[in-house]
Chains A and B, each alone.
Chain A
Amino acid sequence: MSLDTVQARTGQEPTAPTPTATNGNSKASWDRSKDVYDPMGSTKLPRSGPVRRARKVEGGIFFPKPENAVTIAVSSRVLFRTEKEQKVFDQMGIEEYLRFQVEHENEPFAPGPAFPFVKALEAVNAQLRELYPDSEELFDIVLVTYNHAHVGVRLINTINYHNLFIERFCMTGGSSPIGYLKAWHTNLYLSADAEKVKEALAEGIAAATMFMPEKQIEVSETQLRVAFDGDAVLFSDESERIFKAHGLDKFFEHEQENENTLLDHGPLKSFLEALGKLQKKFYAKGHRLDCPIRTYLVTARSAASSGIRALKTLRAWGLETDEALFLAGAPKGPMLEKIRPHIYFDDQMFHVEGAAEMGTIAAHVPYGIAQKHPHKNSS
């Protein structure tokens, strides 16, 4: 599905901004009066009047406003494979690195770990645009990198080469890109830099670290599949703290006692919520069974006991995953291999590594108690 759109797009020259009237509703029109940078807060515009300038329209496809879209910010190192360049940087320094990038400007980067995920987002977008031609409730992918602008041409060439729908990016030239995530209304940030991910999480932004996998299994090109761990990912790390401090028996006891108390929300809850909102748009058009977004809860909790609290919490939030898998301590790798998600989020490196070994695209959420006890195996 994404291919159709991509071909339609590449077949046309990008067009200039056109009036709103031809595309979209007035509510969503690009409000330029708000867009004017008003340093003093007092600048009077020379003229005022109805705002009629359109959103940017390209090949008949508009770009949503970041605040209306589900914005996914990805770093260049997770979207593309840049190990070779990274090596040049580490061994020879910034100048050689930039020279290398400019010299290889016409050689596109190979797809990185977030690439299949981004492709799947675009496939969902294509279906959303078909069902809701005027709606801005779409995924918007923003490339956020602290690369220098010199690398910009190679990145743009690569985006063109892979027919990706990425029109927005910021290259901060060495300074931290974290401040920009809020400006883009980021719903999920994916980076190869664990420190940056931690900074984003501390700002309350859903974020995860991605790694270059050794092997990768085929993933669906038409259905986006996102799998979440429960504790310290969708939920807070409250229960995991009990487990880490007092062991499995205390954990069960605690969960039984608190069965009717909701778990607090975790760092990725808001992203599941955003996915749920888009899923409902498909349900409303009769696509419940063939919804192009599918979500999974993959937890070490057990269905019989501790899983009940997790389900009750999700229900109380008005959220649900399409499937909830309670592994009761069994390894997650084999189950994830069957699900074949475009991304799986877990707070424990142990599970991330286990999943990656079996070819699953796994991302680490460096949040909660598990970061302090990285070696201890979970239940």
Chain B
Amino acid sequence: MPSFSLAHNVKNTFFLLQMRSNAFEIAVSCHAVFDTNLRTDPLSKGVAFSFIKAIQDINEKLAVKNPKSPLFNVILVAKDLQEHQSTIVSSTQHYGLQISRFCFCNNENFTQSLQSTSVKLFLSMQTDDVCRALQEGVPAALLCPQTRFPAEGDKEEVVSPLKVLLSGDAIGLPEERLSEAGFSQLELQTFRAAKASMTEFALVIAEMRRCFDREDSPLRVALMTVLGSRDEMASALLTARDWGLEVDEAYCLAGASRGPLLNCIQPHILCYDGLYNVTEIPALS
């Protein structure tokens, strides 16, 4: 058997943007950026392609506005796609994507390879991957597809602001309330991990958001409570204020299904609170 290295990292020699020492490294799943089912060359755009454009828009504007502000560094994570390495690399060049590094890994070791680098946030559209990353100590959040504009006329493509949706439950809902409600230790552990990774991300977002005006900001921050109601929302809003985080939008669902609302909000990044994929809880009473 050939020996398997943990992961195969490729530095993008075409990456021109000056790396800043305080760059925030985001690892994005390749499956979201490109449609990896269709073996075209270059690969066609994936449902979260516009996310990369939004990130680049922020970087470009930040570079002009504030030389000290942190920027995003994007790493493309390709799981089980080793044989398509050259197509993936050339596709990013084709679309002019600023990817600082590629990480080719397999499904078994992807969290380890993320851990071994300085990745601050791993983004995937797969709830399982996000949940697993969180449980194995990698900060992670969900990447949401952009469905509002079909990817047709990409010539006149307008970059919409990057919308980050933070979980108001993770911020405002005390953990005791969850354990009283019968969430398991594993769920609570995921909740804690999600909260920790979200907090770190939120602080960086806060710093970036402050560089921009209220209107026309390339970065928008939204807060949503799904389990919690107005009191948890108030507490989350006040905590965000303590963090110096400008929140633009707030949604309080108090138990209503979040699917229809998410379709309206259209976030790029959904900071996962680690609870919603759990459909079974231990019998309580």
Q: A17-B181, A58-B229, A169-B252 are in contact. Are A153 and B285 (CB under 8 A)?
A: no
- Interface assignment of A66: CB less than 8 Å from any CB of chain B: yes
- Interface assignment of A40: CB less than 8 Å from any CB of chain B: yes
- Asked if A39 contacts B254 (CB within 8 A), the reply is no
Interface 1/0 per residue, A162-203 and B, CB below 8 Å: 000011111111110001101110000000000000000000
Q: Contacts of B262 on A, CB cut-off 8 Å?
A: 37
- Interface assignment of B237: CB less than 8 Å from any CB of chain A: yes
- Interface assignment of B247: CB less than 8 Å from any CB of chain A: yes
- Asked if B181 contacts A16 (CB within 8 A), the reply is yes
Which of A21, A159, A183 is within 8 Å of B285, CB to CB?
Answer: A21
Q: A149-B248, A153-B238 are in contact. Are A16 and B180 (CB under 8 A)?
A: yes
Among the stretches A28-36, A222-230, A288-296, A368-376, the one at the interface with B is A28-36
Q: Contacts of B81 on A, CB cut-off 8 Å?
A: none
CA distance A47 to B128 in the complex (A): 10
- Asked if A170 contacts B279 (CB within 8 A), the reply is no
- Asked if A39 contacts B280 (CB within 8 A), the reply is no
Q: Give chain B interface residues in 247-273, CB to chain A under 8 Å.
A: 247-264, 270
A230 to nearest B CB, angstroms?
33
Which of A30, A50, A159, A173 is within 8 Å of B255, CB to CB?
Answer: A30
Q: Contacts of B263 on A, CB cut-off 8 Å?
A: 183
- Asked if B279 contacts A148 (CB within 8 A), the reply is no
Q: Contacts of B214 on A, CB cut-off 8 Å?
A: 94-95, 98, 148
Q: A149-B223, A166-B230, A170-B261 are in contact. Are A37 and B254 (CB under 8 A)?
A: no
- Interface assignment of B281: CB less than 8 Å from any CB of chain A: yes
Q: Give chain B interface residues in 192-237, CB to chain A under 8 Å.
A: 214-215, 220, 222-223, 226-231, 233-234, 237
Q: Give the nearest-CB partner of A147 in chain B.
A: B250
Q: How many residues of B contact A (CB 8 A)?
A: 59
- Interface assignment of B164: CB less than 8 Å from any CB of chain A: no
- Interface assignment of B182: CB less than 8 Å from any CB of chain A: yes
Q: Contacts of A95 on B, CB cut-off 8 Å?
A: 214
CA distance A53 to B187 in the complex (A): 13
CA distance A30 to B280 in the complex (A): 12
Q: Give chain A interface residues in 64-94, CB to chain B under 8 Å.
A: 65-66, 94
CA distance A187 to B230 in the complex (A): 22
- Interface assignment of A55: CB less than 8 Å from any CB of chain B: yes
- Interface assignment of A108: CB less than 8 Å from any CB of chain B: no
Which of A17, A40, A157 is within 8 Å of B126, CB to CB?
Answer: A40
Which of A16, A43, A66, A166 is within 8 Å of B127, CB to CB?
Answer: A43
> Which of A49, A66, A167, A174 counts the most chain B CB atoms within 10 A?
A167
CA distance A56 to B262 in the complex (A): 19
Which of B229, B251, B252, B257 is within 8 Å of A35, CB to CB?
Answer: B257
Q: A32-B276, A35-B257, A36-B276 are in contact. Are A168 and B252 (CB under 8 A)?
A: yes
- Asked if B181 contacts A50 (CB within 8 A), the reply is no
- Asked if B248 contacts A148 (CB within 8 A), the reply is yes
- Asked if A56 contacts B229 (CB within 8 A), the reply is yes
- Asked if A48 contacts B264 (CB within 8 A), the reply is no
Q: Contacts of A318 on B, CB cut-off 8 Å?
A: none
- Asked if B182 contacts A19 (CB within 8 A), the reply is yes
- Asked if A50 contacts B280 (CB within 8 A), the reply is yes
Q: Could you list which residues of chain B lie within 8 angstroms of chain A, going by C-beta atoms?
A: 47, 125-128, 131, 142-145, 173, 177-178, 180-182, 214-215, 220, 222-223, 226-231, 233-234, 237-238, 247-264, 270, 276-281, 283-285
Instruction: List 8 additional A-B contacts (Cβ < 8 Å) besides A35-B257, A56-B254, A150-B247.
Output: A17-B255, A39-B142, A44-B128, A55-B255, A148-B247, A149-B237, A149-B247, A170-B249
Q: Could you list which residues of chain A lie within 8 angstroms of chain B, going by C-beta atoms?
A: 14-19, 21-22, 30, 32-40, 43-53, 55-56, 58, 62-63, 65-66, 94-95, 98, 148-150, 152-153, 156-157, 159-160, 166-175, 179-180, 182-184
Of the A-B pairs whose beta carbons lie under 8 Å apart in the complex, a sample of 7, sorted by A's number, is A17-B181, A18-B182, A34-B259, A53-B281, A170-B250, A170-B261, A171-B251
> Top 3 nearest A-B pairs by Cβ distance?
A56-B255, A16-B177, A173-B248
